[in-house]
A and B are shown apart, each in its own frame.
Chain A
């Protein structure tokens, strides 16, 4: 939390309705394939009952304001999807750890790291 403990009133960082903020920037980017895959994994895993959109949001909120500023939208999403899947027992942290290392060993680009 960026507010200190003496002045923090319990309002959380993501709950931003009414805050002062600057001009709205309308530049736009298209989503890349890996981002679309993150979106699809969220929809499919939640549709199959492994977690809910509220679980997705809960982890995003708990990641804090720094993540909101420093990570892209789908970077935050894959972090939250993964956290929820580990919590619901779909796979273990050890399984994820080994697989991520295998993925990185395949190549230096996203294309090469896909089997």
Chain B
């Protein structure tokens, strides 16, 4: 069929990679062949593939933002999240599959930042797919050696009194940072607080946004 567009392409406004209307590449040719063979062999089905794409598209940083905001407003949940982040996020209703998650809490004394030096492990079953820079040679190489310089490039300048803890996702665990709650948000409910929690703040390359003073 000449137009095989899927209904759930990401709407964020970034440019798309060449797809339907560009010359077929060798690797696209391989993807079609592998997909058809897997369906014919009964390994999967077209419906299952579409459902998997929909499930990944439904995962986004807003899921993590809800988790962080709940941790900010519910001390018992915050404790549960730090004790077992997989169980706590499942209890909130998120389908994180088999992912084993650890939550890392930023405080006035400690700033956590997550990297995967060996590949690009990321808490994708909560936050969706990682940003391109997370998979880059520059981020993977530098973050374990000069994290403060990396953070400065992202606009985060930490005082020397704050300890930086880098977490290299080398094996089974995935990590989500709980950024520090911004000041000036007393009395805010979790829904409003979640709007301050960015993707980068949950990787550790950003801070939660400050509330607009208007």
- Which residues from chain A sit less than 8 Å from chain B, CB to CB? 14-41, 43-45, 48, 50, 57, 60, 68, 71-75, 78-79, 81-82, 85, 90-91, 95-96, 99-100, 102-104, 107-115
The docked-state distance in angstroms from the alpha carbon of A14 to that of B130 is 18
In the complex, chain B residues whose CB is within 8 Å of the CB of A24: 133, 136, 138-139, 142, 150, 153-154
B residues 6-61 touching A (CB-CB < 8 Å): 6, 9-10, 12, 14-25, 27-38, 41, 43-44, 48-49, 52-53, 56-57
B9–A30 CB distance below 8 A? yes
Interface residue ranges, B against A (CB under 8 Å): 1-6, 9-10, 12, 14-25, 27-38, 41, 43-44, 48-49, 52-53, 56-57, 115, 117-119, 129, 131-133, 135-142, 144-145, 150, 153-154, 168
Q: Do A71 and B24 have beta carbons less than 8 Å apart?
A: no
Q: Is the CB of A17 within 8 A of B141?
A: yes
Once the chains are docked, how many angstroms separate the CA of A96 from the CA of B28? Answer: 13
Q: Let me know if B150 and A99 touch, CB within 8 A.
A: no
Q: Which are the 3 A-B pairs with shortest beta-carbon distances?
A: A17-B117, A111-B20, A32-B19
How far in angstroms is the closest Cβ of chain B from A74?
A: 8
Q: How far is the CB of A96 from chain B (nearest CB, A)?
A: 6
Across-interface contacts of B20 in A (CB, < 8 A): 33, 109-111
Nearest residue (CB) in A for B10 is A30
Q: Which of A24, A25, A35, A39 has the most CB of B within 10 A?
A: A24
Can you list 9 residue pairs at the A/B interface with Cβ under 8 Å?
A21-B137, A28-B132, A30-B16, A72-B17, A104-B29, A110-B19, A110-B32, A111-B19, A115-B36
A100 and B153 form a contact (CB under 8 A): no
Instruction: Return A88 CB to nearest CB of chain B, in Å.
Output: 10
Q: Which residues of A contact B9 (CB under 8 A)?
A: 30, 32-33
Q: Which residue of B lies closest to A92 (CB)?
A: B37
List B contacts of A78 (CB < 8 A): 27, 30-31, 34
- The 8 Å CB contact of A21, one of B2, B37, B142, is B142
Q: For A40, give the chain B residue with the smallest CB separation.
A: B52
Q: Give A75 to B20 CA distance when docked, in angstroms.
A: 16
Contact flag A33-B5 (CB < 8 Å), given A17-B141, A40-B53, A71-B27? yes
Indicate if the CB atoms of A110 and B22 lie closer than 8 Å: yes
Cβ contact within 8 Å between B29 and A113: yes
Contact present for B36 and A111 (CB under 8 Å)? no
CB of B119 to closest CB in A, whole Å: 6
List the A residue with the shortest CB-CB distance to B17: A32
Q: How far is the CB of A89 from chain B (nearest CB, A)?
A: 10
